[in-house]
Structure 1
Amino acid sequence: MSTPLPYRNGNEVKLLPDELIVTKTDPTGHISYANRVFMRIAEYPEDALLGKPHNIIRHPDMPRGVYRLMWKTLQAEQEFFGIVKNYTATGNYYWVLANVTPDYGQNHKLEGYYSVRRPPSRSAIDAIIPIYEQMRQIEAKESKASAPDVSMQWLLDEMKRREISYEQFVLQLNGLTPASQGRTK
């Protein structure tokens, strides 16, 4: 199946606790590598993924502001952590804890992006759903052009109110810390 079915309330597909989804994209976000776990979970054959925009799996429940934050983070040459709901080719969905990192080659030239995804905790999903619902409500009241920035700013303000960054929030929800991820920041 090469294109997803129209949005519907599908069934949740779950990654096994030790499974990792790995993809690589070019600098424009087009898939250049997808591991077998990704193909199985997303229900796409390899030839339907390679060369396609990674947002082929973007679930309509995901606020655009989260992706705006991701791209701003990546453009600042930093890695991004987020909880993401994705869409399968048959209309099902799955949640992931995503870690996206820029991939630089010689002379610090951007080659693309690596993304490693693992299953998030159920409590993390339950905690993020109302935040994403609020962001989508904000986006629905804005123009298409301004919606991602407005909802991203709401998310940043909400995290500031909680005295935590979005990245720290996501990692804490999953029982992780930047140090436990082998990061030095």
Structure 2
Amino acid sequence: MKTITPPTIILDEEVKWDKSQTIVSKTDVHGTILYANDAFTKTCEYNAIELIGEPHNVIRHPDMPKVAFKALWDALKKGNNFHAIVKNLTRSGRYYWVITDFTIDKNEKGEVTGYTGRRKAVPNSVIEKIEPLYKTLLDIEKIKGEKASELYFEAYLKEEIGKSYDEFVIDLFAQETMKENSKEPAEETNKFKKGLNWFFFGETNPK
């Protein structure tokens, strides 16, 4: 099977995309892409035929530290849904930032068959806060190795944030979105605490 070749030139430029859309993809348990919706293909600049059968990391941006994806896979393998803020790479070498809600797909026997990721745009203020952390983790990874980056990340979340990565992402996104939209804090925070279902699925009264 022909594999996608990453772009040779990485541009410090955001791709133009419809930020009102939800980017959706489905993978098997190994992260192989099984489905990509139109919003996904248009944003990453690959068509569905090119994406199907490829590992999802074909759109991984080199600015992303590996420890962020380790946290993701560790959670999913434990059966936990997960949220992450991710910088992705397009065919042309451009980037786009998203918040992702990962859910676990199961068959009628309750066996895990894969994962569904739904992604939406994030406020610039979220990127401004998380990008320096990712850069630090990436620098540690390059100089000291992935294990050192992982240990720093764990200590940072414990000592400076006091939350898990998933909780950190949800709270950061909630706070910055509330500021941007000037909504009532109590009402909006309650929505985010429901797992962002209202945001990704359009639910106004999540249970």
- TM-score norm. by structure 2 comes to 0.80
> For 2:42, what is the secondary structure of its paired residue?
helix
> For 1:106, what is the secondary structure of its paired residue?
coil
**1:12-161 correspondence to structure 2 within 5 Å:** 12-143=14-145, 147=146, 149-161=147-159
- Greater CA drift, 29-38 or 11-20: 11-20
CA contact (8 A) 2:17 2:42 kept: no
Unaligned runs of 5+ in 2: 175-188, 199-205
Letter in structure 2 aligned against 1:77: G
CA contact (8 A) 1:84 1:98 kept: yes
**Number of aligned residues:** 180
User: Do the aligned partners of residues 80 and 180 (structure 1) sit closer, same or farther apart at CA in structure 2, a change above 3 Å counting?
Assistant: closer
CA contact (8 A) 1:2 1:89 kept: no
- Residues in 1 aligned to 2:133 and 2:52: alpha-carbon distance in whole angstroms: 32
User: Do the aligned partners of residues 91 and 150 (structure 1) sit closer, same or farther apart at CA in structure 2, a change above 3 Å counting?
Assistant: same
Superimposed CA distance per residue, residues 104-130 of structure 1 (whole angstroms, 9 cap, x where no aligned partner): 112221111100000011111110011
The percent of aligned pairs where both chains have the same amino acid is 34
User: Do the aligned partners of residues 64 and 110 (structure 1) sit closer, same or farther apart at CA in structure 2, a change above 3 Å counting?
Assistant: same
- Residues in 2 aligned to 1:180 and 1:50: alpha-carbon distance in whole angstroms: 28
- Greater CA drift, 12-21 or 105-114: 12-21
Shift of residue 13, structure 1, vs aligned partner = 2.0
What is aligned with 1:6?
Answer: 8
What is aligned with 1:178?
Answer: 193
Shift of residue 150, structure 1, vs aligned partner = 3.1
CA contact (8 A) 1:59 1:93 kept: yes
CA contact (8 A) 1:2 1:44 kept: no
Letter in structure 2 aligned against 1:43: E
Unaligned runs of 5+ in 1: none
Superimposed CA distance per residue, residues 15-57 of structure 1 (whole angstroms, 9 cap, x where no aligned partner): 4342100000011111000000000000001111000000000
- Residues in 2 aligned to 1:65 and 1:14: alpha-carbon distance in whole angstroms: 28
- Residues in 2 aligned to 1:64 and 1:171: alpha-carbon distance in whole angstroms: 20
Letter in structure 2 aligned against 1:163: G
- TM-score norm. by structure 1 comes to 0.89
> For 2:118, what is the secondary structure of its paired residue?
strand
CA RMSD of the aligned region, Å? 2.0
- Residues in 2 aligned to 1:11 and 1:182: alpha-carbon distance in whole angstroms: 30
CA contact (8 A) 1:65 1:150 kept: no
Q: Which has the larger radius of gyration?
A: 2
- Residues in 1 aligned to 2:148 and 2:107: alpha-carbon distance in whole angstroms: 34
What is aligned with 2:183?
Answer: none
Per chain length, whose mean CA-contact separation is higher, i.e. which structure has more relative contact order (CA < 8 Å, sep 6+)? Answer: 1
Superimposed CA distance per residue, residues 51-98 of structure 1 (whole angstroms, 9 cap, x where no aligned partner): 000000000000000011101011110011111000001111100101
- Greater CA drift, 106-115 or 46-55: 106-115
Letter in structure 1 aligned against 2:172: L
